[in-house]
Structure 1
Amino acid sequence: VSKEERVPFKSCADVHGAGLTKSGVYSVQLSNSSEPTQVWCDMETSGGGWTVIQHRSDGSLDFHRTWAEYKLGFGEPAGEHWLGNEQVHQLSSQQPHVLRVELGDWEGHHAFSLYERFSVASEKQHYRIFHKGYIGTAGRLSSIGQSGIGFSTKDVDNDNCVCKCSQFATGGWWFDACGPSNLNGMYYMSGKHTGKFNGVKWHYYSLRTTTMKIRPADFQPS
């Protein structure tokens, strides 16, 4: 029996622990799911073991989606995709996790934000995001928003603002009164868009690439 055919992995950290250390698409079995979920595992960054939960790179996928679509996920793990709020909730509620956000601009610069504790609550709790502890180069104040904020989509509004941020900013996100960042916004083919507020943005800068990835806080690179 090959390593891929053994008892299903729970996350990319489990995949890494089994000795599979090449980045790529793997199947993981989440606790409340009868079917395995296909995920992209990053086995290179900072020791590997990362489960990718979001990726943007070329604007090929529409991220202005409904609550149901963000719940279940969309896209392909090898390309642009959103893993799914329910899947991220199940992964991050099993044990303490860290979140790494990687950003690339149109001039070839790269930055990251690392949150030392990260979780997403249940659907009943609006998939609220919780995070604390920060290191990185991308700037904390321009990041994923306040801890405790609920998720909003074009058909479900949890953004603490009468302006319905998800419709205005064209993408599902943890909006706090339409704050300065939205990694699921409209994909523009250049940098600053001061006249537009719906870009794939981090402090009003329209990005070329974004990746969000998580792994257990106690992960030990081999």
Structure 2
Amino acid sequence: MSLVSGQRQCSYVTVATCGDDVTVTPGNLLNARGEKGDTGLPEIENFLSVVNCSTSSVNGYQLFPSKKRAFCEHGWTVFQRRFDGSVDFNRTWREYKDGFGNMEGEFWLGLDEIHRMTSGQHCKLYIKMKDFNVRMAYAQYRYDSFFKINMPLCSFAIDDESDNYRLHVSGYSGTAGDSLSYHNGMQFTTKDRDNDRHGGVNCALEQGGGGWWYKGCFHSKLNAEWGRSRVIWNNMLWLHWKGESDSIKESTIKFKCD
């Protein structure tokens, strides 16, 4: 196998360098998966340098200062991706905190890492969705840089665990309708930790099992049960695009900070 300049071959991974950016070319290192679709990755910290997706034009697996691996896509950091139900999103608080899944397929980056990367930054959010009829829509949350002197500069961030990863989101535009602003200011809820405002009901338990910033209960829930179940409330939904009875098949959620 020939290597381009600046690239070196290890026994299990190729590391390509572009300035300060580093991309892991997966090859066969993602063949072995653990329970529920998790991937067992080899220890590669010694081969990688610090990467920031916002300043990288490279697509691929990245390692951040916290030693957390993530996936960069055209300068955006992907923190959730679903498309076939291969990874179970009915997870505990600790799992949503730390992250799960595999970055070759479906995954959740982890609330700690999302907080660390958005805290004190000027970030925008992009959500891409596809339904079971292959129709697509998107929702973007961003500030208008022309008017930013008079506007909050952060259109997406979450607080730390001490405030239960409270969501801050604003500045909608797109084709899917705004089904996330309803959840603005809400803390994160999982099946084993109820922080929603629906008295006496844990929305994560009652609405498909996945963690989300539930209120009372939802206008959106993209971590709920994948597929088209008989109980329509259990599936992935985006109320202002598909209503309450037509589920989402695919979702990619990513952010980018200036």
Tell me if TM exceeds 0.5.
yes
Q: Gaps (5+ residues) in structure 2?
A: 1-5, 7-16, 23-46, 143-154
By how many angstroms is 1:132 displaced?
1.2
Alignment equivalent of 1:39, drawn from 39, 59, 70: 70
**Counterpart of 2:166?**
128
Task: Kindly indicate whether the alpha-carbon contact (under 8 Å) linking 1:24 and 1:78 is maintained by their aligned counterparts in 2.
Answer: no
Alignment equivalent of 1:158, drawn from 195, 199, 214: 195
By how many angstroms is 1:58 displaced?
0.3
Task: Kindly indicate whether the alpha-carbon contact (under 8 Å) linking 1:144 and 1:174 is maintained by their aligned counterparts in 2.
Answer: no
Does 2:113 match 1:75?
no
Q: Gaps (5+ residues) in structure 1?
A: 44-48
CA distance in 2, matches of 1:182, 1:171: 8
By how many angstroms is 1:144 displaced?
5.8
Compute the TM-score of the two structures, normalised by the length of structure 1.
0.83
**Counterpart of 1:176?**
215
**Counterpart of 1:8?**
50
| One-letter amino acid of the structure 1 residue matched with residue 253 of structure 2 | M
Does 2:145 match 1:108?
no
How many aligned positions are there? Answer: 197
By how many angstroms is 1:198 displaced?
1.2
CA distance in 2, matches of 1:42, 1:78: 13
Compute the TM-score of the two structures, normalised by the length of structure 2.
0.72
Alignment equivalent of 2:205, drawn from 167, 170, 175: 167
Aligned 1:52-71 pairs, distance under 5 A: 52-71=78-97
CA distance in 1, matches of 2:88, 2:182: 22
Could you list the structure 1 runs, at least 4 aligned residues long, displaced by more than 3 angstroms after superposition: none
CA distance in 2, matches of 1:114, 1:202: 14
RMSD between aligned residues: 1.7
Q: Percent identity?
A: 36
Per-residue displacement from partner, 1:55-100 (whole Å, max 9, x unpaired)? 0010001101010000000011221010000000001104110010
- Larger Rg over CA atoms: 2
**Counterpart of 1:201?**
237
Secondary structure in structure 2 of the residue aligned to 1:145: helix
**Counterpart of 1:149?**
186
The structure whose RCO (Cα within 8 Å, separation 6+) is larger is 1
